[in-house]
Amino acid sequence: MARQMRTAAGTDGADVASEPDDPVFSVDGHFGYLLRDLRTLTGVEALLETSDDIPTIRFLLGLTARHAETAMMRARLALAQTKEKGKD
């Protein structure tokens, strides 16, 4: 995706690496989604600190559980893929 944006912007010159985008660490890869989950968890933390409405707290706790689980899975997947690349 980054390469496509550079091409569209007209900056696809010699100073840009010609290697393919890394699917693990790209914005659209596991690492990018992991960062989004972590930002969501940070936002939920801020909301939990200020909320005193029980239904809202229950919703936020459910949201925390979902994003924490997906962040854990994505972190483990990215970690496993980086270990595999280190062996090559």
In a domain, residue 10? The reply is no
Alpha-carbon distance values, 9 to 6, 12, 28, 34, 87 (Å): 5, 8, 19, 27, 36
The answer to the question of residue 58 being in a domain is yes
Please compute the mean of the pLDDT values over residues 27-37 and round it to a whole number: 84
When divided into structural domains, the chain yields a total of 1
56-86, pLDDT tens digit by residue?
999 999 999 999 999 999 999 888 888 876 6
Residue with the bigger pLDDT between 4 and 28: it is: 28
CB 67 within 8 A of CB 40: yes
Residue 40 inside a domain? The answer is: yes
pTM here is: 0.64
Query: Is residue 75 assigned to a domain?
Result: yes
Give me the domain span that covers residue 60: 22-87
> What is the percent of the chain with per-residue pLDDT over 90, rounded to a whole number?
49
